[in-house]
Amino acid sequence: MNRQIRGLGIGLAVLFIALFVQLNWLQVVDAKRLNDNPGNSRAVVRDFVQPRGAIQTSDGVVIAESTPTNDDFQRQRSYPEGALFGHLTGYFSFTYGTDGVERTYNDALTGRDQKFRLDRLSDILLQKEHSANVTLSVSKALQQVATQALGQRKGAVVALDPRTGAILAMADYPADDPNPLAGHNQAAVRDAWTALNSDPAKPLLPRSYRERYFPGSSFKVVTASTGLATGTATVSQPVYPFVSQIALPQTTQPLQNFGGEVCGGPMPEALRVSCNTSFAQLGLDIGADKLAAGAQSFGFTKTPPIDLPFAQPSTFPTAAELAHDKPALAKSAIGQQDVAATPLQMALVAAGIANDGVVMTPHVMAEVRDSEGRVVQTYEPKAWTTAVPPDVAHTVRDMMVGVVKGGTGTLAQIPGVTVAGKTGTAQTGRDTSHTWFVSFAPAEDPKVAVAVIVEDQPNVNEATGGTVAAPIAKAVMQAALAGP
């Protein structure tokens, strides 16, 4: 029988060799094709189930964290502060991907960007977790102040440190609570997503850096700066005529001041009362090339390199578009026509003036720490764009101080602190106006710059627009300066 038994042994060995070949085929040769198979949600899940670090505020409040679960996904992402930081953290959703800091710092949170990553089995033994925690420059304290000051009015508040570009607060209303999108019940997640998307108030839209509005008179800061920088005007010359409207070239339609108000004077006076006719004239005097270049030097038409996804560039017409369209040039100079700015961009305009003319790159990340608490990355401030020379910035700053001292922005005054600011009121064509306030403080040593927009305010004009937005900016600046 031994012959047969040997044969049986060989037969069984052949079967096992076939198994070995098949395993090599599946796990090595064909593995990539199987992993890339569109029906294979395992790869998506694999990314999804990786350990993921927490996101916390500069004052140590956890705003995104993962806790173990017993289901397929192994971890549940949760956002303890809900909508308060909804647009900053973004969401981490199996069905809808990621947004916000969850998206931009995905590699840091999962530890994928760490250089000395060992592979799989061995890294579990030697270095069990390489996910990292991201600390933001935003504090919960200031975020709360901004959110409460804005209240339930559609709009946005952006506060940043003009010296470093660090975002200190970034509040939108409405903002969504990301928790429902991070759920593991896909049907419930889809329902939540559909509801958020069909909401006309657009709670998923981070207005602060993705929505563009007519900047209106707040843009006059840019026009004033460009006028000074190009030598088109000084603080004393020209003296703009006191009129209620001016005739524009190429059209019979005159450009009017709000409510037919009569205003004029030298640039500081015109800025103090936000005189449209004076700034329209200044714009015409500067000319298309230089005004477009001036807007660009503040960052208009460029996407702010902020570490948040899908930031929108603010728009300003090209020099060519304005060269032969004088009415458009005049209206662009007062922030109308085709000018549109994100709240972030307007905060950067204020910050540029505050920081001696240099606009710093805006950012929300302060530092990244590994799971042991060691700092692996610290944000290094860098300049984004040079808006104006320092002397021009100082001049504009003084004019903006005038606006708050005795102009349209008096409601932003803070006792004991010199505040520089500029109001803006942009008509929406719906019998309402978007009201703006851009500001920074203290004027002599700026530590915080703030832009506020409140949408669709009824019954406001250039003089009264400041009453809506300026107090919000004031509250945020006051809290930021009181600081921890």
Partner 1 sequence: MIANTALRDSVVFRSRRNTELGLIILAALLTAAGYTLASLGRSATLPVDIVPFLGVILALLAVAHVATRRLAPGANGIMLPLAGLLNGIGYVFIARLDKDLAALQALWTALGIVAFVATLVLVRRVRDLERFRYTFALVGIGLLLMPLLPVVGRNINGSRLWIRAGTVTFQPGELAKIVLCIFFASYLVEKRELLSEARHRVGAMFVPNFKYFGPVALAWAVSLLIMTAERDLGSSLLFFTLFIAMLWVATGRGAYLAIGGVMFAGGAFLAWRSFGHVQDRVTIWINPWKTAGGTGYQIVQALFAFAAGGLAGTNIAQGSPQRIPAVSTDFIFAAIGEELGLLGTTAIVIAFLLLVATGIRIALRAEPPFEKLLAAGLTTILGVQAFVIIGGVTRLVPLTGITLPFVSYGGSSLLANYALLALLLRISHDQGEREQAEARALTETRA
Active site residues: 217
Q: Are 451 and 215 in contact (CB under 8 A)?
A: no
* Single-letter amino acid, residue 357: G
Number of residues that bind partner 1 (CB under 8 A): 48
Rounded to whole angstroms, the Cα distance separating 277 from 257 reads 6
Nearest to 160 by CA among 343, 301, 322, 310: 343
- Cβ distance to partner 1 smaller for residue 23 or 201: 23
- Cβ distance to partner 1 smaller for residue 46 or 382: 46
Region binding partner 1 by CB under 8 A among candidate stretches 20-28, 324-332, 390-398, 455-463 = 20-28
Between β-strands 245-246 and 255-256, what pairing exists: parallel, antiparallel or unpaired? Answer: antiparallel
37 binds partner 1 (CB under 8 A): yes
Q: Name the one residue in this structure whose structure tokens are 């090209």.
A: 318
- Tell the smallest beta-carbon distance from residue 25 to partner 1 (Å): 9
Rounded to whole angstroms, the Cα distance separating 83 from 405 reads 36
Q: Directed axis angle between helix 276-286 and helix 288-297, to 10°?
A: 100
- Cβ distance to partner 1 smaller for residue 51 or 313: 51
118 DSSP assignment:
P
Q: Which residues of 117-151 are buried (b: 16+ CB within 10 A; e: fewer)?
A: eeeeeebeeebeebbbbbbbbbbbbbbbbbbebbe
Q: Which of 60, 116, 119, 373 binds partner 1 (CB under 8 A)?
A: 119
118 binds partner 1 (CB under 8 A): no
- Cβ distance to partner 1 smaller for residue 48 or 173: 48
120 binds partner 1 (CB under 8 A): yes
Residue 338, token pair as written in the block? 């085709």
- Tell the smallest beta-carbon distance from residue 220 to partner 1 (Å): 57
Region binding partner 1 by CB under 8 A among candidate stretches 23-31, 157-165, 200-208, 301-309 = 23-31
* Single-letter amino acid, residue 448: V
What angle (nearest 5°) sits at the alpha carbon of residue 186, between those of residues 311 and 190?
A: 55
* Single-letter amino acid, residue 447: K
Q: How many residues in the chain?
A: 484
- Cβ distance to partner 1 smaller for residue 31 or 201: 31
- For the window 88-107, what string marks contact with partner 1 as x by the rule CB under 8 A? --------------------
Region binding partner 1 by CB under 8 A among candidate stretches 36-44, 162-170, 214-222, 270-278 = 36-44
What angle (nearest 5°) sits at the alpha carbon of residue 471, between those of residues 264 and 245?
A: 20
19 binds partner 1 (CB under 8 A): yes
6 binds partner 1 (CB under 8 A): yes
- Tell the smallest beta-carbon distance from residue 477 to partner 1 (Å): 44
- Tell the smallest beta-carbon distance from residue 34 to partner 1 (Å): 3
Residue 315, token pair as written in the block? 């728009």
- Cβ distance to partner 1 smaller for residue 129 or 398: 129
Residue 213, token pair as written in the block? 């509005």
124 binds partner 1 (CB under 8 A): yes
- Tell the smallest beta-carbon distance from residue 46 to partner 1 (Å): 7
- Cβ distance to partner 1 smaller for residue 34 or 195: 34
Rounded to whole angstroms, the Cα distance separating 176 from 54 reads 19
Q: Are 85 and 99 in contact (CB under 8 A)?
A: no
Judged by CB under 8 A, the chain residues 127 through 186 that form the site for partner 1 are 128-129
27 binds partner 1 (CB under 8 A): yes
72 binds partner 1 (CB under 8 A): yes
445 DSSP assignment:
S
Rounded to whole angstroms, the Cα distance separating 163 from 138 reads 15
121 binds partner 1 (CB under 8 A): yes
Name the residues that contact partner 1, by CB under 8 A. 1-9, 11-13, 15-16, 18-20, 22-24, 26-28, 30-35, 37, 39-40, 42-43, 45-46, 49, 51, 68, 72, 74, 119-121, 124-125, 128-129
